[in-house]
Structure 1
Amino acid sequence: MNNFSLGGVCDLWLKDFSLNLAAELVGILVVLFTVNQTVEANQEKEKKKFREIAFRQLRFVLRKQIYLLFDMFKASVEVKPDKDYQNIRDLFDETYFQEVKFLDLLKVAPVVTPQGEEMDWLDYLYSECSSLQSALGQVVDRYSFYLDSQVVDVIEELSASVFIRFIGSIWDAKKMNALGDRGDLLFACKDLLQDYTMTLLELVEIYNESVTTDANATPDGVRQINMDRSKWQDWWSHNGRPKIGESRISSDIL
């Protein structure tokens, strides 16, 4: 009887111990799962924060590229195209690439150096492309760990653009007085410019998807790089430089 009672007690104790152990194991697993989820959430939050910081550093140079490419077009067309521009992609149609090749890169651009000296369009292009490359390189060096591989690929593709290398080559030739006085240097690089602008637009769209709207971010409350009908009208009607067609290649050069 005592043996039976002792055996029953042991069985009950083992059963109770097993249940407690199972409960503790479940509790430990729940805690580990919760901790893991919290860590992953914090890591994703940290990654998102640094991703936004990375793209925020690109906002200025990306916007300047859009300004530059628009100014090139405005300065090279004879008349404003009869088109209702509503977004950034609307600028880069077939008319854009057919007309911008008439830009005389040796004519005076609508900007000056930090010393207040005039720049021609080739200097302007070279300066802005160099600034873009520098900014892209810094973002990759500092934040590639936080960026998706697709984003890094687009950044590196834009930085290594053949168009940028082309501009660098003719700028070097100018410094060696090897260009002469002909500014019709974009005639041969329509495809290069087209590839460059498409990659730039891809990066702008990735940027817009990666940043948030913030009422304190900018005067208009938006960090994104966008253009609407009203902004396009303002750019076309702006009375400052460049004027429409002011840097178009002279007919005697063609």
Structure 2
Amino acid sequence: MLVHYDQTSDILYYEVLDIPLPELQGSKTLKVAFHHATKDEVVVRSITLPKRSTVGDVINDLKTKVELSHPNAELRLLEVFNHKIYRPFDPAITYMQIFPLSEKIENINDHYWTIRAEEIPEEEKNLGPDDRLIHVYHFIKDTAQNPMRILNSFCIIQKIENFGEPFFMVMHEGETLAVIKVRIQKKLQVPHEEFAKWKFAFLFQGRPEYLQDSDIVSGHFQGDGPWQEYLGLEHSDNAHI
């Protein structure tokens, strides 16, 4: 008879481990969501490695467990939370590798953040001196009435809500919104009829400034960081985006 916290039981549960217990205790498992480069497909893989392993080790292991667009594809890891990419940029990291390859996996928290892996597009590896890698997020405006009356009228508050998968995009100096829209539509494979309903805005500290096709997008970005500024795509929340 087994006794635990003043409760008795005659049933003993056990689990068959894939590896010896001492090895398991010295290991860490990360759940990594891999986004395929050319398919609308996300697969989640569990990567178990010794705690002192690095991000580079995770990427090498992941490459053996997912389908790559080509054998020499390079991968990066991102931290995603609330449909935004939160891991800070490190200008010393080649090809915008969000997690440094040398970072220990024991420092990574995949319970709070989503760990995303993706191939690094070729265009991001060859940025010109005036090119910039910007964050692009989907959003909707949630308009709610404040129950407090101000001068016998309701106070209308607009809240920006992000959804869907955030992504990076290369922005060239002097590029208009019309040109960028073509690349966004191609990347997301949105039908013309639906894409025509989308609105585009530069968002700074959560406030949208809507853009016209002729606007030079690079002129709006001042380098304040992706938490302060990003290119927003306003449209209905479709599950496939």
Query: In proportion to residue count, which structure has more strand?
Result: 2
Query: In proportion to residue count, which structure has more helix?
Result: 1
User: Please, what TM-score do these two structures have when normalized by structure 2?
Assistant: 0.24
User: Please, what TM-score do these two structures have when normalized by structure 1?
Assistant: 0.23
